[in-house]
Amino acid sequence: MKYMLIMRATSAEAYAAFADVDMDQMLETMGRFNDELINAGVLVAAEGLDDASGGVVVDYSSQPPVVTDGPYGETKELFGGFYILDVASQEEAVEWAKRMPAAGAGFQTEIRRVPSIDEFPQDNPWIQKERAWRESTGQL
């Protein structure tokens, strides 16, 4: 089963404090954790995200959708990056999250299962098209 570990700061202050961390030290710490995930054979993908102030939000509450530039003054949680792990259970994903080195006060990791394409109706033409694409790109 695949699980996404969503790393986020619960306040703009926590996210800003993380910006003061020594980049070499952070890369060393995260690199060691990433190596553990790779050596365990569970890492599927991992990415960090750029500062939220450079992002935009597309709000579909009206037509046409409204695009708003960051930063977001009302944001309570900032999504900072993610891991996708292929593990046996949610409990195993939780155990990996507990070992996350980029953690501390003001940070959280949300864990959500990523459904397999096999869980969707296989007679649906869009699922068939996606399955063919995944097979052609070596994802299945």
* Average pLDDT value over all residues in the chain: 86
Retrieve residue 45's tokens. 């993908």
pLDDT of residue 129: 95
CATH number for the domain spanning 121: value is: 3.30.70.1060
**Under a CB-based contact definition with an 8 Å cutoff, are residues 40 and 33 in contact?**
no
Count of domains for the chain? 1
15-61 pLDDT, tens digit each: 677 677 787 888 888 899 999 999 999 999 998 887 777 788 888 89
The answer to whether the CB of 80 falls within 8 A of the CB of 7 is yes
Question: Rounded to two decimals, what is the model's pTM?
Answer: 0.80
Q: What is the residue range of 16's domain?
A: 2-136
For 67-109, write each residue's pLDDT tens digit. Answer: 888 666 555 667 788 999 999 999 999 999 999 887 777 788 8
Percentage of residues in the chain with pLDDT exceeding 90?
47
Q: The tokens 């070992």 sit on which residue?
A: 99
